[in-house]
Amino acid sequence: MKKNEYGEHANLVKKLVSRPPETQKVSTKIQMTDGVLIPRKDDHHVFNSWRLTFIIAAGLLTFLVIFVPTPYRSIFLVVIQGAPTTFQVTIISIIGAIIIGLFVGLGSVAKSYIVNMISGIYVEFIRGIPLLVQLIFIYYAMGRLFRIEGMLAAIAALSICFGAYMGEIVRAGIQAIPKGQMEAAIALGLTRGQAFRYVILPQTIKVILPAIGNEFISMLKDSSLVSTIALTDILRKGREHIARTFLSLETMFVVALVYLLITLILSRLVGILEERLHKNG
């Protein structure tokens, strides 16, 4: 069976199990608590929460850098040097977390009791240990045995920690798809694996995309913990500047504004990606 035929089967499955809008109650989004407000196209308020927060943060940082160069411009120029490390750790880690979460999520809905148990133990074990503890353990304890460097330890800790949460997101997304679609796909001659690949997973991606975006933003903020293992991220640069100048309040204020602006920009990009994905079907 060719790939385009799988696509035709997937569309046929959707038609077979579709119901009228008034009776169909399938969740299309997974709401997360640790997220930011993302403006949508149907929000016609000019000064909504996102825009107002972004204008205040960007305006305040611009004002300080331009009109109060001492000490804020020098602080900003030092702090922003840690942005490449922050983005590098976050982007690589979110890719690792998605890969881990995909296997954990599929394991959580697998028919095998052993696979379900392993996935459940992993999720409960990782979620029960703070990220900072995992980071320190991987860097100091496991680092002695496997000679793990700072960057690798940070990526491993963030991937493993957020992989557990991502697994729950994938599991919830799969379970949000009507069971009738799997049954219809199998009835049309697809194997269970083919049904997952061509029918269930494409729809699951649309369901879990907002949650993945929020996890990405949360990971960006939690990446500040890598400063504890001497990685020169945004927070680490700020702490080094404090050690030289003793301007703790001013430096942490600039660090907070930089993190806030990056978070707001990423939240908007996630919203645009979600809108385009749903628009393209």
Q: pLDDT grade, residue 143 (50/70/90)? A: confident
Q: What does the alpha-carbon distance between residue 105 and residue 99 come to, in Å, rounded to a whole number?
A: 10
The answer as to whether 14 is a domain residue is no
pLDDT of residue 39: 52
Q: pLDDT grade, residue 185 (50/70/90)? A: confident
Q: What does the alpha-carbon distance between residue 182 and residue 136 come to, in Å, rounded to a whole number?
A: 43
Smallest CA-to-CA distance from 26 within 225, 227, 200 is with: 200
- Per-residue pLDDT, averaged over 149-159, amounts to 90
pLDDT of residue 140: 86
pLDDT digit string, tens, across residues 88-129: 999 999 999 999 999 999 999 888 899 999 999 999 999 999
The answer as to whether 251 is a domain residue is yes
The answer as to whether 133 is a domain residue is yes
The answer as to whether 19 is a domain residue is no
Say whether the peptide bond before residue 69 is cis (omega within 30 degrees of 0): no
pLDDT of residue 16: 52
User: In this structure, are residues 9 and 186 in contact, taking their beta carbons and an 8 Å threshold?
Assistant: no
Tokens of 272: 């645009």
- Mean pLDDT over each residue of the chain, to the nearest integer: 83
The answer as to whether 21 is a domain residue is no
pLDDT of residue 35: 47
Tokens of 85: 């490390």
Give the structural domain span for 47: 3-7+43-279
Residues in contact with 148: Cβ distance below 8 Å, sequence separation at least 6, in sequence order? 138, 139, 142, 156
Residues in contact with 190: Cβ distance below 8 Å, sequence separation at least 6, in sequence order? 6, 9, 198, 199
Tokens of 249: 């309040």
Q: pLDDT grade, residue 21 (50/70/90)? A: very low
The answer as to whether 228 is a domain residue is yes
Interior angle at CA 151, CA 34 and CA 222, nearest 5: 15
Q: Is the pLDDT of residue 66 over 80?
A: yes
The answer as to whether 20 is a domain residue is no
pLDDT of residue 207: 85
Q: Is the pLDDT of residue 238 over 80?
A: yes
The answer as to whether 51 is a domain residue is yes
Q: pLDDT grade, residue 181 (50/70/90)? A: confident
Radius of gyration of the chain (CA): 22
Question: Within 13 Å of residue 35, how many CA atoms lie on the same side as its CB?
Answer: 19
pLDDT of residue 159: 95
- Which CATH number goes with the domain that contains 120? 1.10.3720.10
Tokens of 180: 């009738």
- Per-residue pLDDT, averaged over 231-243, amounts to 93
User: In this structure, are residues 66 and 134 in contact, taking their beta carbons and an 8 Å threshold?
Assistant: no
- Domains held by the chain: number: 1
